Amino acid sequence: MSDNTKSICIIVPAYNEEVVIQEFYNRLITVLDKLPGYLWHILFVNDGSEDGTQNVIESLAKVDTRISYIGFSRNFGKEIAMTAGLDYADGDAVIIIDADLQDPPELIVDMVAGWEQGFDSVYATRLSRQGENWLKLFTATQFYRVIQRISKTKIPEDTGDFRLLSRRAVNALKRLREHHRFMKGLFTWIGYPSKSIAYHRDARFAGNTNFRFWRLWNFALEGITSFTIAPLKIATYFGITTALLSFIYGIWIIFKTLAFGDPVQGFPTLIVTNLFLGGLQLVFIGIIGEYLGRVFNESKQRPLYLVQTFHSGNMKLQCDTDK
């Protein structure tokens, strides 16, 4: 291949995916064979899997030099796994794709075409989601609606992490070292020309999703707290409104006492307002706590992940142990 062949690295975060990786690989290389003009790399990020994922990846890497891998010392979560992928990947562009075949590899052809047109970020937007229950769909929609409204970073709806990023977009992302990483938001935050491609999201090929409801809730909290301080402002305005209303109410009571005397009533009103305000204060302290806790975590400046194993195939891993 000539020297000006463009190289593209496919980043695959994998956590307990031993049953799907082989099938994923088969489908992926069929697509890569359709695009012979590029130098391909595949970078698996084994996110501390407890099953045989590592063995499957290693045996694939033995027969295909396009495969490189890094393995974490424990499970750090998908956001961090993607970050490590971006840190280590070489290439003129990278593509992030799930290992479970919910992101159809066939879309890579369109992504590369978008990149060739000059887009820095070509992301896949879901038209439908197979095999996911209504609760997950409903909460996802609501989440996007809320975050669109309260944050300046307009995170596109129904968009996952499946995307192609140009080298300059990757370099921009590498400069964002925050610990509370909401990648979907970070991808949008960097700006640069981007393009969406629509697709139908398939059900998982095999295995189980690693996202439970509680995790999704925390994911939503992460999204909101890392992209907007709107909840803190809401607290301020709520406080101002309440103070103003109680002032007016106070004047009314003084007037009433002067005009009609003071028959000492109103125990129910007293207890209700007390409890209501007490509750409200706790909620807002909780919100402040969410932000404060994040400041605490960021201030520790721990490394984002620890790499235990790595192997480079035809790609020179950009390894810098100081991550």
- 16 near Mg ion, rule: CB under 5 A: no
- 209 near ligand UDP, rule: CB under 6 A: yes
- 10 near ligand UDP, rule: CB under 6 A: no
Give the one entry of Mg ion, ligand UDP, none that residue 159 binds, where binding means its C-beta sits below a cut-off of 5 to 8 angstroms depending on kind: none
Span of 9-17, 192-200, 248-256, 261-269 interacting with ligand UDP by CB under 6 A? 9-17
Choose among 193, 140, 143: nearest CA to 164.
193
In the bound state with ligand UDP, the residue whose beta carbon lies nearer, of 217 and 276, is 217
In the bound state with ligand UDP, the residue whose beta carbon lies nearer, of 102 and 225, is 102
In the bound state with Mg ion, the residue whose beta carbon lies nearer, of 140 and 315, is 140
- 102 near Mg ion, rule: CB under 5 A: yes
In the bound state with ligand UDP, the residue whose beta carbon lies nearer, of 199 and 291, is 199
CB atoms within 10 A of CB 15: 22
Contacts of 86 (CB under 8 A, 6+ apart): 11, 94, 96, 165, 170, 173, 174
- 43 near ligand UDP, rule: CB under 6 A: no
Q: Write out the chain in H/E/C secondary structure.
A: CCCCCCEEEEEEEECCCCCCHHHHHHHHHHHHHCCCCCEEEEEEEECCCCCCHHHHHHHHHHHCCCEEEEEECCCCCHHHHHHHHHHHCCCCEEEECCCCCCCCHHHHHHHHHHHHCCCCEEEEEEEEECCCCHHHHHHHHHHHHHHHHHCCCCCCCCEEEEEEEEHHHHHHHHCCCCCCCCHHHHHHHCCCCEEEEEEEECCCCCCCCCCCHHHHHHHHHHHHHHHCCHHHHHHHHHHHHHHHHHHHHHHHHHHHHHHHCCCCCCHHHHHHHHHHHHHHHHHHHHHHHHHHHHHHHHHCCCCCCCEEEEECCCCCCCCCCCC
In the bound state with ligand UDP, the residue whose beta carbon lies nearer, of 70 and 172, is 70
Give the one entry of Mg ion, ligand UDP, none that residue 211 binds, where binding means its C-beta sits below a cut-off of 5 to 8 angstroms depending on kind: ligand UDP
In the bound state with Mg ion, the residue whose beta carbon lies nearer, of 19 and 150, is 19
- 42 near ligand UDP, rule: CB under 6 A: no
Contacts of 117 (CB under 8 A, 6+ apart): 195
Span of 12-20, 141-149, 166-174, 191-199 interacting with ligand UDP by CB under 6 A? 12-20
Q: What angle do CA 19, 16, 220 make, to 5 degrees?
A: 125
At its nearest, how many Å lie between ligand UDP and the CB of residue 174?
Answer: 19
Give the one entry of Mg ion, ligand UDP, none that residue 313 binds, where binding means its C-beta sits below a cut-off of 5 to 8 angstroms depending on kind: none
At its nearest, how many Å lie between Mg ion and the CB of residue 22?
Answer: 17
Site for ligand UDP in 49-68 (CB under 6 A): none
Span of 5-13, 95-103, 167-175, 306-314 interacting with Mg ion by CB under 5 A? 95-103
At its nearest, how many Å lie between Mg ion and the CB of residue 100?
Answer: 4
Site for ligand UDP in 68-107 (CB under 6 A): 75, 77-78, 81, 98-100, 102
- 211 near ligand UDP, rule: CB under 6 A: yes
Applying CB under 5 A, which residues contact Mg ion? 100, 102
Which residues of the shown chain bind ligand UDP in the complex (CB under 6 A)?
A: 13-15, 17, 47, 75, 77-78, 81, 98-100, 102, 209-211
